[in-house]
Every structure is written in C-alpha cells, then in structure tokens.
A = this chain, B = another copy of it.
Amino acid sequence: VLDELRNAVGADHVLTDPDVVAGYVIDWTGRFRGATPAVVRPAGVDEVARVLQICAAARVPVVPQGGNTGLVGGSVPQHGEVVLSLRRLDRLGPVDAAAAQVTAGAGVTLGRLQEHAHAAGWEYGVDLGARDTATVGGTVATNAGGVHVLRYGSTRHQVVGVQAVFADGSVIDRLDGLEKDNTGYDLGGLLCGSEGTLAVVTAARLRLVPRPRHVVVALLAFDDVDDALAAVGALRRAVDALRALEFFEQRGVDLVRAQMHVPPPFPEDHGAYVLAEAAGGTDPTEALADAVDRLARVRDVAVATDARAAAPLWQYREAHSEAINLIGPPHKLDVTLPADRLAPFFTRIRGTVAAVAPDAQVWLFGHAGDGNVHVNVTGVEPDDERVTDVVLRFVAELHGSISAEHGVGVAKRQWLHLTRSPAELQAFRAIKDALDPAGILNPNVLLP
C-alpha cells in the first residue's frame, strides 16, 4: 500500500519518519495522541481520489486532516489510520464580485482567505481565533462557527458548493457558484459538519459579504445574568446590523485583568457583561445607541466606533481562553442552550459541577446571541469524565446541544446518545453506510 501511495502522490509526500509525522499524530492541546503508518500529502483532487481508491481497495482507514486545530480529536489517527493531509490543496481563486463568492482549496487557511477577501472589498463571514492555522477543509468538515454566526450563520451557510471525493474515489464537483440549485439532495450541506466521515472535501465555493465600512462595539454591564440575557433578546430585535453578542462574567474580567495586566472596563464591578458589535455599510452607531438607551437595566456602557478603541473592549472577551490557560489547563466544554434555558443553565451549572468536583472553578463565557456557552473548568483534569458527564447530562436535560461548534470527534462520542434519539442515530448510520460502505473514512469519530 505504501508503494502504491508513493506512486500516487510522489515519494516525497508519503511521510513515515516518526520525527516528521509527530506533528500530524497529536492535536494542538496534546490531549489526543495517535500513531500512523503514513501521512499522505496529495497535491490535488485527482491525487486525493487515487489515495482513497488505494486505501479502499486495501480496507485501510483514513483520517482526513486540515490545520489540526480541532478540540475533540477528530483529526488524530488514534487507531493507526493513514493521515490524509489536505494542506497542499491551497489554491485560492479570484474574488468573483458579481457573485460575491470565492473558490478556496481545502488547505487554504481562514486567515489567508480573509486577507484575500479584504483586499477585494469583501469579507468571509466565519472568523475564529485559530484563523491562521484552521483551514477551509477543516472548517467545512466541522461546520465551524465563531463570533459572527448571529449575523452570517455557521460555515454551512457560507458553502455554496463543494468539490469532494467519496470513499470509492468518485469525485463530485459543485464549484460553479449557483446560489439557487434545487436539483437533488444538498450533498455540500451534508458534508458540512460530517467530520470527514462521508467524503473528503477538497475545495469549497464560499459566499462573501461586503466588508463593513462601519463597525461599532458596545460593552454593557449588568447586575446579573438575567438582566444581561434580557438585553440579548432586546438588542437582537432592535439592531439588525448586530454581528456579535458575546457574554462573560465579572470573575472572567477579573481573571483577564490579573493575567493580562489590563485596567478594569468600568470604575465599579458588575455581575455580567454583554459585548455587542454592529457593522454595516450604513453607520449603525445611532441604532445601537438608541437600543442601548431603551435597555432598562444596563448599569454602565462603553462604546467604541473605531478599531483602536474596540480592541481593549474585545480583549475582555477574547483573552478569556488565554487567561484561563495560564491557570489551567482547563477542561473545555462547548455547549448550546435554547435561548430560554440559558438563565437556568447559568444559575445551576456551578452547583452541578461542584457535585462531582467541589474544588473546581467554572468559567462561563461565549456567544450569547446563539446560546453558545464555553464552559471552562479549572482545578480538574482536562479530560475529567465525571465533569464531562454531569455537564453534558445537564445540557441534555435543558434540551441543549453537547457540542455547539467543536463537533463530536472522539471526545464526545459516548455522550451523543444524550441528545440524539435512536431514530437520528439510525439515520446517521444509514447515511454513513450508504456513502462509505467500506467504512474507511474517519471510522472512529462521531458515530457510536
């Protein structure tokens, strides 16, 4: 098989030296480790097809890998799979202004894509912290979210079409940029979030949005979580230019202040904070200011109408992960609650964790506009299953999702049944068996 793979992609691109493959068999958090007989680095869709044909014929399982920035072990060869690295598929097409679209290879990083779009006066709607390493292919495979989901939706909403290779080596190619195309099942959408289990995405045709000429950020302080959450609903309806609605607490601000050595946002402490960002071709400052004025229970407000003033406000939210890592490493859980269950979740989650880990500290922050809470727990092992178990069960009880934007991978597979019914799991399995009958595509992730 190795010889055939070398024939397919060139000997230089079948890596077997343990030192060289080391970076491909462990995730960036160090939590998931594996081993691989080879890392294969094809240069294009035809080589990907050939690699999959060879592996399918030999029944050798394959783990597709992009930037390897995932948090649930979805791209690590934990059972000795061949690693199929897509990083060489890094072609980036011209921005198509008439269609507001661009075609990007699976290996293009989000950062490069964003720069490319900016240079032409456009923006890509998905942005996230790992932008300089995370790839288009990886973000499609995991349906990546980020801070702008509220306005533009997740990666699935950006994908007009994909080029992808099925397990048998057959290729689908839907890169013509057809915004409307009701001729059959939405294979591109199905592949989004399928975590490399149904096909290998080699390129995507992506929507762009006009680069906003005006961005305004407001940091709002409230006495408590209830008041902050009430503001989230009111702001959503009043300000259609909103593109981020982030949430964090005073204890998070205190930690960021202590670890990052930054001044406090306001003279007094408050219970909870909402960071709202509005952006558009028309200046949204007045609409946002009017909406904030109408909030009965806001205690303090800081507004920034340029990027220099906005950065320190965003830092209170964005530095959460780094500040927590400095006292960590944390146990990271990424969940969604229905909008009307966020309040009970915030009220009871610390007690829930304390029941199994009395000394743990729980840090709560996230994308309030989507009900997406990043639950970080310090003072326990990063993979403490008791903590995982009680948090995810509580989420399930409140009809939430056990993985908002990080996916299932291997990390959450055993809890999938908490929120996915037998009928759903059976449908997942039927689809998996239909599109990958030999079961060679990332066979150890996602499905139980």
Contact string against B for A residues 59-101, beta-carbon threshold 8 Å, 1 for contact and 0 otherwise? 0000000000000000000000000000000000000111111
A57: Cβ under 8 A from any B Cβ: no
Chain B residues, CB < 8 A from A372: 179-180
Q: B431, A433: Cβ atoms under 8 Å?
A: no
Q: Bound complex: CA of A99 vs CA of B337, how far in Å?
A: 11
- Interface residues in A259-313 (C-beta closer than 8 Å to B): 280-284, 286-287
Q: Does A378 sit within 8 A of B, measured CB to CB?
A: no
State A369–B426 Cα separation when bound (angstroms): 40
One of A22-30, A184-192, A319-327 at the interface: A184-192
Contact string, A110-146, partner B, CB cutoff 8 A, digits 1/0? 0000000000011000000000000000000011010
State A153–B153 Cα separation when bound (angstroms). Answer: 11
B180 pairs with A154, CB closer than 8 A: yes
Instruction: Bits for A148-166, please: 1 = Cβ < 8 Å to B, else 0.
Output: 0110011011000000001
> Is the pair A192, B183 in contact by a Cβ cutoff of 8 Å?
no
Which partner residue on chain B sits nearest A424 by CB separation?
B172
Q: Which residues of B contact A446 (CB under 8 A)?
A: 184
Q: How far does the alpha carbon of A349 sit from the alpha carbon of B430 in the complex, in Å?
A: 43
**With A177-B338, A189-B189, A430-B435 known to touch, is A407 a contact of B239 (CB < 8 Å)?**
no
- A434: interface (CB < 8 Å): yes
Query: Which residues in A have some Cβ–Cβ distance to B below 8 Å?
Result: 96-101, 121-122, 142-143, 145, 149-150, 153-154, 156-157, 166, 170-173, 176-187, 189-190, 192-194, 198, 209-210, 212, 229, 232-233, 236-241, 280-284, 286-287, 336, 338-340, 367, 369-372, 399-408, 412, 416, 419-428, 430-431, 433-435, 446-447
Further pairs besides A97-B233, A170-B422, A183-B403: 4, Cβ < 8 Å = A156-B189, A172-B427, A186-B190, A241-B282
Can you name 13 A-B pairs with beta carbons within 8 Å?
Answer: A97-B237, A98-B236, A98-B340, A99-B340, A121-B237, A153-B153, A178-B371, A180-B367, A183-B412, A184-B424, A186-B190, A209-B240, A210-B237
